[in-house]
Structure 1
C-alpha cells in the first residue's frame, strides 16, 4: 500500500468523514425501522443522496423507494424530520451526488423496535418538532 505521508490534521479529517459516513448509514437504518413501525409499511427502503465533498453532517436528498407518490411524500417528510433530529442537515444543492441505501431487511424485530423507541425518545426529550407536530 502507498504511504502518502499526510499531515495529522488531514488524517484526522479523513477519519471524521469516515466515522460520519458510518453514523449516517446506521441512522438511515434507524429511520427506516422507525417509519416501518409507524406506518406498517414493509419493507421500507430509502436512498440518501450526498454531494461529493459535502460537510460531514450534510445530506442532499432523501428519496423513498416507493411506487405511490403520496407514500413517497409522507416518508420523505418524516425521514427528513428524523434525520434533522439526529443532527443531520438536509441541504439540496445543484452538485453531483452519490447514494447511500438503507433498508430494514435483515434486521430483527428487536432491533426494529429498539430503533423506533430511540427515535421516539429523541422527539420526547428535545425541543425538535416531531412528525406528529407538523
Structure 2
C-alpha cells in the first residue's frame, strides 16, 4: 500500500475497491475513505456478512444507520488504506413519485351512502313487520 504515509494518500476508484469483495480481501468505502477490513471480519460484532454485503458501494449510510460507538469509529484508522475518488461513486437519485390527477372527493356521495346504510335496513324491517301484521290481521 505504498508510500511513507502507509498508502493513506492513495486515491482509489470504486471499480478498484469493488474488486476487494471476499472474506480473504474485503475493502469498504465509508465517508470518502477506503478501509481494508479483512483482518476485522472475524471480530466484527455484526458478523462478516454485514461487512461483505457493503462492498462495491459507498457504505457510509449503512455504517451510520447502525450507530457505531466512538470507540468503533476510532478503530477505523488502523484499517484506512486511502481515499475514494468520489467522481466514481454513482450519485443517488431522489425518488419522485409520478404525478397523479387531482382527486376531488365528493362528500355528497359519502353522505348518501351513509343514509342508505341506515335507512335501507329500517325500510326492510318495516316492510317485514308490516307484512307480518297485515297477514295476521286477516
Same fold (TM over 0.5): no
TM-score scaled by structure 2? 0.22
Please say which structure displays the higher CA radius of gyration.
2
TM-score scaled by structure 1? 0.23
